[in-house]
Amino acid sequence: MKAMILAAGRGERMRPLTDVTPKPLLAVHGTPLLDHLISQLARAGFTDIVINIAHLGEKIRAHLGTGARLSVNISYSDEGPAGLETGGGIRRALPLLACDPFLVVNGDIYTDYDFARLPASLAGLAHLVLVDNPDHHPEGDFGLHDGQITDAAPRLTFAGIGLYRAALFADLTAERFPLAPLLRRTAARGMISGEHYRGPWTDVGTPERLAALNAGRR
């Protein structure tokens, strides 16, 4: 199975840090977020990794190269300066992923989730990892009932970790679109399974959260 890391976002909430550094290259305890994620993926057996790039993407290429330093093989899906949002970015990268299912991870999360625990196959079109709602997102994203993603309360927060089948994107024609509405439509059809991860996880979306991580707080 191949993995994709979403690294093309502009990181507006992280400015001014992201004016000069792509958000996934910001460091936690001296190591870039991307390096943390890639090392975790490699330990779980994900050694073929696709990374989408847009804003300051040349800095990500220069830092990671082919991935040999981290014992993986990296391919890049270049979306140009504007980017294609989360859903469009995945759809653009499908030829590089060329497997079913495939893993997609947000490039701005920090967690000790063991990617080896993900299911090897899917009965539906996707499988999402959910976490407890952080203070900055108390309303959550999705419900979870008997291993199925729903829209019912109480809701948990999408961790930015998901397995997807290519068929999830089969009928889409837009080049640029977010992933969340597609997931909600598909969940309403009963086609997405899920799990609740209760371990450490942080969406490193603001300078304050980055600082808290580096200070040893989550």
Nearest alpha-carbon partner for 46 in 72, 21, 26, 23 = 72
- CATH code, domain carrying 12: 3.90.550.10
Structure tokens that stand for 57 in this block:
């993407």
Classify residue 33: in a domain, yes or no: yes
Nearest alpha-carbon partner for 128 in 96, 162, 80, 152 = 162
The string of pLDDT tens digits covering residues 2-11 is 999 999 988 7
Classify residue 50: in a domain, yes or no: yes
The string of pLDDT tens digits covering residues 41-94 is 999 999 999 999 998 999 999 999 999 999 999 999 999 888 999 999 999 999
Classify residue 218: in a domain, yes or no: no
Number of compact structural domains in the chain: 1
Q: Taking the complete model, does pTM exceed 0.85, yes or no?
A: yes
Q: Once rounded to an integer, what is the mean pLDDT over residues 186-205? A: 96
Classify residue 30: in a domain, yes or no: yes
The string of pLDDT tens digits covering residues 128-172 is 999 999 999 999 999 999 999 999 999 999 999 999 999 999 989
Classify residue 135: in a domain, yes or no: yes
Identify the domain containing residue 174 by its residue range: 3-213
Classify residue 175: in a domain, yes or no: yes
pLDDT higher than threshold 60 for residue 218: no
Give the H/E segment covering residue 110.
strand 109-111
Q: CB of 6 within 8 A of CB of 162?
A: no
**Which conformational region is residue 119 in: left (phi greater than 0), alpha (psi within -120 to 50 degrees), or beta?**
beta
